[in-house]
Structure 1
Amino acid sequence: MVVGPSFAPPTISAQTWANKPSGIAWLRDLFPYRRYGARVLSYEYDIDTLTAPGGPAATGIYDEAVKLVNELQADRYIQDAERRPIVFICHGFGGLLVKRALSFSHSRRDARVEHLRSIFRSTVGILFMSTPHNGITKQSLALGEFNQYGGPSQFLLSLLEGSEALQEITDQFAPLMKTFFIYNFWEQIATSFGKSRAFIVDRTSAAPSWSDVDQCGINSTHSGMVKYTSESSPGFRIVLATLDRYIRAADSTIKKRWQKDAELLRKDRLAEFEDLIQSQHPAGSVRSLGVSGSDSATLLDSSAISETEADEVLDGEPSPSVNVHYLVHRRSEYFVGRLRQSDELRTKFGTPKRKRRRKPDIFVIYGLSGSGKTQFCLRFSEDNRHRYWGVFWVDCSSEANANASFALLGERAGKGQEIGAGQEWLSRSTDPWLLVLDNANDPEMDLNSYIPATGNGHVLITTRNPNAKIYSTIGYFQFRGMDPEEAILLLLNLAYPGSEPRENKDASWNYARLIASELGYLALALKQAAYTIRRQLLPLERYLRSLLGCRKALLSRPILQASADVNIIATYELPFTGIATKSSIEYRDAVDLLHVLAFMHFVSIPEGIFSRSSDSFKASKWSSIRPAAIVEPRSSQGVGDRILAAAKVLYDHSIISISDIQSTAHDNVWRTPSSTKLFSLHPAIHQWARERLSNSEQRQWLECTASILAHCVSHNLETSGRAFRQLLLPHIESCLSLLEIAHPKLPENLEQCSVIEKFGLVYAENGLWKRARSLQLKVVEFRTKHLGKRHVETIQAQRGLANTYWNLFEIAKCLEVQHQILITNWWTRPAWQDWLTWPPWKPVHIPYCIALDDLTRSLWLAGRRELSLRAGKRAVDGLTNRLGPDDPLALNAMFNLARTYLHIGELEKSYELLEVVLEKRTRFFGTEHPDTLMAMNEMGMNLCAQRVRLDDAERLVSAALRIRKRILGEEHAYTLWSVNDLSKVYCEAGRYQEAVEMLEEAVPIVRRTLGETHAGMLMTKSNLARAYMLCERWGDARPLLELLCEQVPPETPDWVHAQYGYAFILVHDGDLGEAEARCDAIVEKVGETGVLAMDSARVLATADLLYKIYRAQGGRDADLARLKERFPHLGREQAERARSIDLIPLKPVRRRTTRDLDDGPSN
């Protein structure tokens, strides 16, 4: 039996198992070892070396485990007892040492070291006496005595719950557990530490829920549970019985294991030998093929090329040296080392090739926070930039941030910010690219959705989650600390820049060695420690003791969640404590600033947030915390100056980084041309800054941050601030996610309502309409309940919700909300004079007219054109009279009315209004304002419907499309709208094939961005079907229209359009009976629902087609008479009547097809 001490000096190690007052050592005095013929060996190790600061924290357990195996094997070899069964009895840490030792012994497979495997082969059972399998608690470690050190060392921290070192030991031991008898014991009496009491190892750690393992508590303290004085001592009889059972089973068990393990090794070595022979003489070799001479040389050479190498030979040329896209932030200058891994990664990826598409190669880097994963990727990106056409960086700290990063990537590609646009762009690229998915730490996030399916690319993933290795296709690295010597040099070079390199015997080198070891050689912690020393906040020789003392204090605080975090936290807690104790304005502001930044996203926080929000924030009363830097200055410039001064303090203490950003994307009203400062924090620092606050403080600062973000957003959403609001998205998402956790029933008050309403506006402006809808629904519900449905803020929220419904094409819900707003505004009039209008049931006050204008637009989209016309006329009259013809609200009403005129065929009236709107919007807003582009596009479609000035029509719609592509991106819904409209112009101009090509290219984009059943997809398919028909590609048009007839709701004009188009094709194919049925269904549906007027262009065209069918069939005189009675126009020239934007694409084909029908009945 082998026993080992717990944490005790080696000179008294025997007392781990002996009762001090009586001197009884139970293994010597109580256990009948002579009866069993047992040898009792006590293994001793120097616990001081392990636990002292600067000790071998990273390798300590492994080194001692190797030593235990070697010494035990040597002793047994000398005694000629290598096959003698072993029972380990382990107390506390000794159990971890034995687990690691058995894993090491089991790994010795080679014949040259197989003798060390004898320890594994001979072990029959293990008694774990309060072994911390899952680690010890912070409380028990904090209560310990650290003598002259002042705090726990890195080694002791590695024993805390959640430790990576403990998890590694568990993972290695788990496959061997079924091999041994195991009994887990735990202490049942807490140990006294002065006035405090605590369990050294709690039950959950000492006795994990392992299957088929005995476990029992012992009614004693951690120390007393292995010091029995008599057979009646608590736990002794259970231990004795367990040992007796193990000893009785030992001989047969170990004999079988030696035989079985020897046979297993023999088979493994035989398989390895066969694999080696096979690799040297493959079955498909030249000799087996029977080929000789020059042919054999050719086959041999080709077979030697690997699949990867063959791809490189066949698929392209070496990558170009010109890098076009580099969307990567600047790396920190302090980063050094890991050159070997960089070279290995470059080899793994191989040489990028041009003009090649296949599945991308994926490499994963996982490890501790602060271990340099991100900086390594930044360095690799920078060093290999010349090898790639594009290098792209995606923040995967959350799904929202990943989507935002890809939105920026899609915008850079000119595809817009729609979800999937960036990935699609990369998947289609044949030029080599590198994509970095950084901080992908959430195990619930599916990274496959962010990895392009194809493309000529390499993907790097950084994560703290080791399970992310499953995404790797070519390998992975595990990052822990730096190389020790590199770490020491980094610390000294940053702490004393410009100094000469130090020799190993230098005193400063030794101090640096201890500090680097205690910081786990983590680059981020070393950098912060160096800056603290450099600024003389703490001298080098005093830094270690302060660090250890800070660690001890942190153990009693909830901020320390895992042992891996303590090095980062402690190195930042030290300088921040110095900042917080100073009373100058900039230092007090720095503390407040860090607390605000802690609740935003950790990258690219615009300094302008604070200056823009200051005025309205001062008037707000929600936040109980009011940062002085925001409320005390009298001007926004003063706010900016104080914020920058506070940021400089944090920057000088290496807590944040500050960068400049200059907008160079597009020089237009959408962009903010001026430069601004951006603040960023390392993710680990960001987490520390938030978690160092108490729960109540976190709630207060969270509300303060949310209020600041909301107050820098105006309800008017001026287009000049669009670029700035786009920068807010990740910070809004970060803040909102925390708000939803803190307030599950958000919103809980009117102030929270205002905050999330502003957040919803920003989401909607950036096309995130579903996210906006979820917030706006909450705001409407809360305000309706607490303010009433007639309150102006309730109506404001309802209007925002209706606009979101409109953009989501949820038209029924949109109309329902807008109708409620209209009724409310009918009853709620601003002044008593508004009741004196005549007639009184037709009010003209401004809110009512705005509601009418909103309905005009929605009724138009719903196809209820007559109602849209009536509402539009009243809206234009009311707003023009009240506000004047130049007011933007009046121009909006004119535009919506003009669009309705266009789609009911009153083209001249539409043109007159559009001409006025386009001229004034261009003059007031410029040519690139979204409202101007809308008017420009509609003016082009009006000319197209009139079939006059088609060159001007094309120029206007093409200009709108070009600008929308540049500003919104190629895949934005409004850009795709312009694509559809331009296809109609092409069709009218006879350029049918061009229309087909642009629509075929648009269909997969619309499918990916909007969905298969979205109204935008139905519109695109409908236009493509018409273009096919004009190209006489009837076989392509028919399945499209069949599908549209099934998908389009029957209550809309689009259903009529789809049915008419399908009937038209049926006529062409000679299926006059089915075509007649479709036409009859159209006429009947229109008569029942009024979805279109009976004299609308599409209904009249349907009657025309039905008339031709009757005539072609012959013998339908009675049906023809009834049809003429209902539609008197039949048989006359329809040129003027048929002018409609909905009908023109089929006009040339209609003439050609109906002319064929006029020739007589169909065969």
Structure 2
Amino acid sequence: MGLLELATPRDSADLSPAHKTWANESSGVTWLRDLFPYRRYGARVLSYEYDIDTLTAPGGPAATGIYDEAVKLVNELQADRYIQDAERRPIVFICHGFGGLLVKRALSFSHSRRDVRVEHLRSIFRSTVGILFMSTPHNGITKQSLALAEFNQYGGPSQFLLSLLEGSEALQEITDQFAPLMKIFFIYNFWEQIATSFGKSRAFIVDRTSAAPSWSDVDQCGINSTHSGMVKYTSGSSPGFRIVLATLDRYIRAADSAIRKRWQRDAELLRKERLAEFEDLIESQHPAGSVNSFGVSGSDSATLLDSSAISEAEADEFLDDEPSPSVNVHYLVHRRSEYFVGRLRQSDELRTKFGAPKRGRRRKPETCVIYGLPGSGKTQFCLRFSEDNRHRYWGVFWIDCSSEANANASFALLSERAGKGQEIGAGQEWLSRSTDPWLLVLDNANDPEMDLHSFIPATGNGHVLITTRNPNAQIYSTIGSFQFRGMDPEEAILLLLNLAYPGSEPRVNKDASWNYARLIASELGYLALALKQAAYTIRRQLLPLERYLRSLLGCRKALLSRPILESSADVNIIATYELPFTGIASKSSIEYRDAVELLHVLAFMHFVSIPEGIFSRSSDSFKVSKWSSIRPAAIVEPRSSQGVGDRILAAAKVLYDHSIISISDIQSTARDNVWRTPSSTKLFSLHPAIHQWARERLNDSEQRQWLECTASILAHCVSHNLETSGRAFRQHLLPHIESCLSLLEIAHPKLPENLEQCSVIEKFGLVYAENGLWKRARSLQLKVVEFRTKYLGKRHVETIQAQRGLANTYWNLFEIAKCLEVQHQILITNWWTRPAWRDWVTWPPWKPVHIPYCIALDDLTRSLWLAGRRELSLRAGKRAVDGLTRKLGLDDPLTLNAMFNLARTYLHIGEHEKSYDLLEVVLEKRTRFFGTEHPDTLMTMNEMGMNLCAQRVRLDDAERLVSAALRIRKRILGEEHAYTLWSVNDLSKVYCEVGRYQEAVDMLEEIVPIVRRTLGETHAGMLMTKSNLSRAYMLCERWRDARSLLELLCEQVPPETADWAHAQYGYAFILVHDGDLGGAEARCDAIIEKVGETGVLAMDSARVLATAELLYRIYRTQGGREADLAGLEERFPHLGREQAERPRSIDLIPLKPVGRRTTRDLDDGSSN
């Protein structure tokens, strides 16, 4: 095979058809030899023959076939033209089918030969004037075409044929390399217009969209013939012949001038490139001010490292190649697979690129991207690299980037490991501040719409690895990237044999088994994942080694009719798993039937860390649910949850034995045992490609049914009560809920569509809310409330339940107005809807005391307190406590909640003793029932400490209580949890009260950036923190800092809230200190006026009385304001009394140093 001369004239051009054979079967006519007037043009006709059978046979050179043939074409054509002394003779290529891909690759190869030692091969590129593509599959061939009998004489398509599928990486690579050259050549694309017959079916081998893509400035035309017939003309009247002849005529006439200019331009271009390279080389060897061949330049030749030019740290970085000794403290990586082999060269190169990790550096992290085919070992490579280099890093962290939600969940776990709660940004902030070396792996970042910059810390002493199928992700790399395809052929063969025959002697002689393994490895594209699965199938004797290849090809052919295949890698991976799964599905034993159903369920969860406890926890309630039409036998048949667990584990063992899933112990996956759920001991995981196959092998109807079944299972393992003991378990449900919910929203655009769906997404919303994902929870809860209100009515108990969950989410989002609106609706509904007739005969009847109504009152108590409407909160709280105590008793958790909320309201209106009495009872009972570390106990402990602080008594106990709550919240909830930050604010108030002003400032300044990042600049938590910080600044006499903070607060806080009055009061206080009594007076007048208009505060509240007191002193200082003083005394009688004390409130603790200084100035009648 090679070049064949069909016609000898050699004056003007070489016509080089790249084809297998173009002879007409019936007449024997080869048109380029028998019909084309080559003598008229003085054209030589060269035919390049290649062995298509060798290329398409199983085990052929699939990975390198096109490249090898392209190199051979260039070398043979150049050699022939060199011998003929015709290297500058123009060339026109005429290509049919695959031959067009071969020519495109050959031209890009020729163009790449730039070095003077191989420049002779560049002559093919320089001399090519035009190309005729005859049904060339530029964009690939369809699966339907590939399934036709002509391609499948071996029982199924080979790896080479699979590489011609639409959208394949091999085709994309050829297109990318040829694209920069397209404008240089004349190009004509032809396509077939008559389908080819294959028995009873007909199909186009290459459809128009692939044969004639929408390239600009390119001729294209259809030929009224079949794929084979379009190049087998028998006469001048054959379809398409005249168009082809005219095209060749134009190309030949234009050839001499075009090629002459191209040779000149290209030679000049290479000359300039080489000159620039030479200058760069000289510059790099002899930079200005560097050591030259005669000695050391510069004034001081005593040292090469002038300390004025290079710092000590920089010198260390250049001179010290050894890594700083490091102790690995954090290793958040699941164990590497034992089957991984190879990639040692890339591992060494990556280690060199990253350099030696050192302590003390903080700079932009270095990032390397690893991209390539699914199943090529990207993740396994990173696992191996993490394990082998663990000792070099203080911390190694693994982030699942298969979706943005999963990435956020992974970062939440990282934040928890950092002791900062589950705030997503806290983990990145932790890494960015670390001076110890760390490694961060962003795995499965395949979504091209995902912005990975948001997951890479801005600074820090770190290295980042990204694995992805998306080649465009290379933009994130700072030190280069690796493209993974198949393994090294020898390593792939060894992997297959070693896994298929474990324990056997290493194979030295390449026997029959080696040859079978070579064919199988080649056909699987040397992909590690596919090789592993093939080996396990052979090892379990489901298929012997010598029969595996034919079964694989047959399975491929059957798979071509399915929509799930998108690339040759997909086919390779899917076929290797379809073979053993078909065997599982064909068996009738219970564990095998359960295994099939279990895989269908796992396909709709997230692919990593699926706890087997999901199934046992959900079994009881799932059995009575009505939504799912599919009832997995392993869940509904056993009589106990233990029986369910046993059936599930037996089914999982079947899948594990066939290498479809992996099973690990929870303890080995999370070494700090964050699950804390003894009922769940095993985790199931799937490779992402297998996870996708397991889902997409089902038809649309089956996918919908199994999706609904999976959603129901997940929902039924979540209780409405959200027991504290199951919180860690529910946290790890998040990625599975997110995976399932995203698919539900696609399958049901108007979700929910029925009451069962309503219940499912309500449960999902509860889990989101419990884990602080309030906005995601709100979107689901709004849908549930709307649907149930429409179909059940607003008075139905399930509607009220959904409304209560929504109101709670509004509360946590500090959307207090919406929260109060929903809770008021619930209260009214519960007023009209009473459980029994006796609930109507209470006295007075307009004050019911049934439990749902009292719970609604308690919810309002808490929200009205947060809104600053303390009087209404007090009224609601008293009624809630009274009703729940009568109905449930003092020990019920609902009663304790109401007592706590009422106590907090008492505290904030200054009734400290009543508050303390209630808190004392609640703390004792919650400690006894729930323990000292329960969130509700900690809330009570914190509030009791603030009660003592407000009373200014037992301040040591106040500090002890709040400090203890803070310490435990840091450990359990994390340093950046909202309640932890709340405790920091409260402890700062205690510090201010005991005179530790600077400590208060320090702790508040430390959390300001955290609150800003986690809650936002205008969040109520940020406003509270800034308010407390401004007060601490004033106590430290840092007036300018306090004023700048309060100016912002006065702008940001809404005027209809109590916090606005507090901010305005603080700013007025500073204006007094600065001597601006007029400005301070205006602020005080505004506060009193606004309170009178809105009723947001009672006129006898601590804040209003403090404002009146400040205004009173301003009047006295100014003098001549007797009428105003009298009016103020009439309105606030306590002002004129000696030694009178205004009520104290936790909302307004006196500013003692400020009071001493400013009060003296005011009383002396002087202004500042």
TM-score (normalizing by structure 1): 0.97
Q: What's the CA shift string for 1:93-145, capped at 9, x where partnerless?
A: 00000000000111111111111111100100000000000100000000133
Separation in structure 1 between the aligned mates of residue 14 and residue 937 of structure 2, nearest angstrom = 83
1:274 deviates by 1.1
1:1148 deviates by 4.3
1:221 deviates by 0.9
1:299 deviates by 3.4
- Note closer, same or farther for the CA distance 1:1134–1:755 as it changes in structure 2 (3 Å cut): farther
1:839 deviates by 1.2
Contact 1:660 1:675 in 2 (8 A): no
**Structure 1: stretches of 5+ with no match in the other structure:** 1-5
Contact 2:358 2:436 in 1 (8 A): yes
Partner residue in 2 for 1:158: 163
- Note closer, same or farther for the CA distance 1:280–1:7 as it changes in structure 2 (3 Å cut): closer
Deviates more, 1:225-234 or 1:291-300: 291-300
Contact 1:608 1:676 in 2 (8 A): yes
- Note closer, same or farther for the CA distance 1:840–1:109 as it changes in structure 2 (3 Å cut): same
Q: For residues 433-452 of structure 1, what are the structure 2 equivalents within 5 Å?
A: 433-452=438-457
Partner residue in 1 for 2:588: 583
Q: What's the CA shift string for 1:621-677, capped at 9, x where partnerless?
A: 110100000000000000000000000000000010111113999999994356610
Please provide the CA RMSD for this pair: 2.7
Separation in structure 1 between the aligned mates of residue 14 and residue 717 of structure 2, nearest angstrom = 62
SS at match of 1:863: coil
Contact 1:1101 1:1138 in 2 (8 A): no
Separation in structure 1 between the aligned mates of residue 436 and residue 320 of structure 2, nearest angstrom = 12
SS at match of 1:248: helix
SS at match of 1:88: strand
Separation in structure 2 between the aligned mates of residue 1039 and residue 10 of structure 1, nearest angstrom = 82
SS at match of 2:764: helix
SS at match of 1:126: strand
SS at match of 1:287: coil
Contact 1:1026 1:1145 in 2 (8 A): no
- Note closer, same or farther for the CA distance 1:1066–1:554 as it changes in structure 2 (3 Å cut): same
Separation in structure 2 between the aligned mates of residue 7 and residue 672 of structure 1, nearest angstrom = 83
Deviates more, 1:1104-1113 or 1:582-591: 1104-1113
Contact 2:113 2:119 in 1 (8 A): yes
Contact 1:757 1:775 in 2 (8 A): yes
- Note closer, same or farther for the CA distance 1:663–1:280 as it changes in structure 2 (3 Å cut): closer
1:301 deviates by 8.4
- Note closer, same or farther for the CA distance 1:12–1:381 as it changes in structure 2 (3 Å cut): closer
Contact 1:16 1:226 in 2 (8 A): no
Q: What's the CA shift string for 1:721-764, capped at 9, x where partnerless?
A: 00110110000000000000100110010000000000000000
1:205 deviates by 0.6
Contact 2:168 2:567 in 1 (8 A): yes
1:225 deviates by 1.1
Deviates more, 1:270-279 or 1:8-17: 8-17
Contact 1:10 1:45 in 2 (8 A): no
- Note closer, same or farther for the CA distance 1:372–1:1102 as it changes in structure 2 (3 Å cut): same
Q: What's the CA shift string for 1:524-570, capped at 9, x where partnerless?
A: 11110000000000000000111111111111111212222111101
2:137 aligned with 1:132, yes or no?
yes
2:773 aligned with 1:773, yes or no?
no
SS at match of 1:296: coil
SS at match of 1:9: strand
- Note closer, same or farther for the CA distance 1:966–1:8 as it changes in structure 2 (3 Å cut): farther
Contact 2:870 2:909 in 1 (8 A): yes
1:319 deviates by 2.8
Contact 2:525 2:569 in 1 (8 A): no
Contact 1:90 1:98 in 2 (8 A): yes
1:398 deviates by 0.4
Separation in structure 1 between the aligned mates of residue 673 and residue 994 of structure 2, nearest angstrom = 32
- Note closer, same or farther for the CA distance 1:858–1:891 as it changes in structure 2 (3 Å cut): same
Q: For residues 911-950 of structure 1, what are the structure 2 equivalents within 5 Å?
A: 911-950=916-955
**Structure 2: stretches of 5+ with no match in the other structure:** 1-10
- Note closer, same or farther for the CA distance 1:934–1:458 as it changes in structure 2 (3 Å cut): same
Separation in structure 2 between the aligned mates of residue 124 and residue 288 of structure 1, nearest angstrom = 50
Separation in structure 2 between the aligned mates of residue 607 and residue 468 of structure 1, nearest angstrom = 35
1:1116 deviates by 1.2
SS at match of 2:351: helix
Q: What's the CA shift string for 1:284-318, capped at 9, x where partnerless?
A: 33579997699225237899999997472599994
- Note closer, same or farther for the CA distance 1:440–1:227 as it changes in structure 2 (3 Å cut): same
Q: What's the CA shift string for 1:376-413, capped at 9, x where partnerless?
A: 11111111111111111000000010000010000001
SS at match of 1:1160: coil
Q: What's the CA shift string for 1:77-96, capped at 9, x where partnerless?
A: 11111111111000000000
Deviates more, 1:669-678 or 1:1101-1110: 669-678
Separation in structure 2 between the aligned mates of residue 171 and residue 1017 of structure 1, nearest angstrom = 52
Contact 1:1105 1:1154 in 2 (8 A): no
Separation in structure 2 between the aligned mates of residue 289 and residue 502 of structure 1, nearest angstrom = 58
Q: What's the CA shift string for 1:817-851, capped at 9, x where partnerless?
A: 00000011111111111111111111111100100
Contact 1:315 1:353 in 2 (8 A): no
Separation in structure 1 between the aligned mates of residue 32 and residue 297 of structure 2, nearest angstrom = 76
Q: For residues 444-843 of structure 1, what are the structure 2 equivalents within 5 Å?
A: 444-662=449-667, 671-672=676-677, 676-843=681-848
Contact 1:200 1:222 in 2 (8 A): yes
SS at match of 1:922: helix
Contact 2:18 2:100 in 1 (8 A): no
- Note closer, same or farther for the CA distance 1:452–1:261 as it changes in structure 2 (3 Å cut): same
1:75 deviates by 1.0
Contact 2:324 2:359 in 1 (8 A): yes
Separation in structure 2 between the aligned mates of residue 836 and residue 115 of structure 1, nearest angstrom = 106
Deviates more, 1:557-566 or 1:91-100: 557-566
Separation in structure 2 between the aligned mates of residue 513 and residue 162 of structure 1, nearest angstrom = 27
Separation in structure 2 between the aligned mates of residue 288 and residue 330 of structure 1, nearest angstrom = 54
Q: What's the CA shift string for 1:123-172, capped at 9, x where partnerless?
A: 00000000000100000000133565211110010000011010000000
SS at match of 1:53: coil
1:921 deviates by 0.5
- Note closer, same or farther for the CA distance 1:7–1:658 as it changes in structure 2 (3 Å cut): farther
Contact 2:332 2:670 in 1 (8 A): no
Contact 1:663 1:675 in 2 (8 A): no
Contact 1:670 1:720 in 2 (8 A): no
Partner residue in 1 for 2:1128: 1123
Deviates more, 1:308-317 or 1:162-171: 308-317
Contact 1:1079 1:1106 in 2 (8 A): yes
Separation in structure 1 between the aligned mates of residue 1040 and residue 586 of structure 2, nearest angstrom = 80
2:432 aligned with 1:402, yes or no?
no
Separation in structure 2 between the aligned mates of residue 950 and residue 930 of structure 1, nearest angstrom = 23
- Note closer, same or farther for the CA distance 1:1135–1:373 as it changes in structure 2 (3 Å cut): farther
SS at match of 1:299: coil
- Note closer, same or farther for the CA distance 1:1109–1:423 as it changes in structure 2 (3 Å cut): same
- Note closer, same or farther for the CA distance 1:1079–1:205 as it changes in structure 2 (3 Å cut): same
Separation in structure 1 between the aligned mates of residue 263 and residue 231 of structure 2, nearest angstrom = 31
Contact 1:285 1:300 in 2 (8 A): no
- Note closer, same or farther for the CA distance 1:306–1:62 as it changes in structure 2 (3 Å cut): farther
SS at match of 2:129: strand
1:35 deviates by 0.8
Q: What's the CA shift string for 1:962-996, capped at 9, x where partnerless?
A: 11111111001111111111111111111111100
Q: Quote the sequence identity (%).
A: 93
- Note closer, same or farther for the CA distance 1:72–1:525 as it changes in structure 2 (3 Å cut): same
SS at match of 1:127: strand
Q: How many residues align?
A: 1158
Contact 1:7 1:93 in 2 (8 A): no
1:504 deviates by 4.0
SS at match of 1:460: strand
Contact 1:1056 1:1082 in 2 (8 A): yes
1:231 deviates by 2.3
Separation in structure 1 between the aligned mates of residue 708 and residue 922 of structure 2, nearest angstrom = 43
Partner residue in 2 for 1:416: 421
TM-score (normalizing by structure 2): 0.97
- Note closer, same or farther for the CA distance 1:465–1:415 as it changes in structure 2 (3 Å cut): same
- Note closer, same or farther for the CA distance 1:750–1:64 as it changes in structure 2 (3 Å cut): same
- Note closer, same or farther for the CA distance 1:201–1:276 as it changes in structure 2 (3 Å cut): same
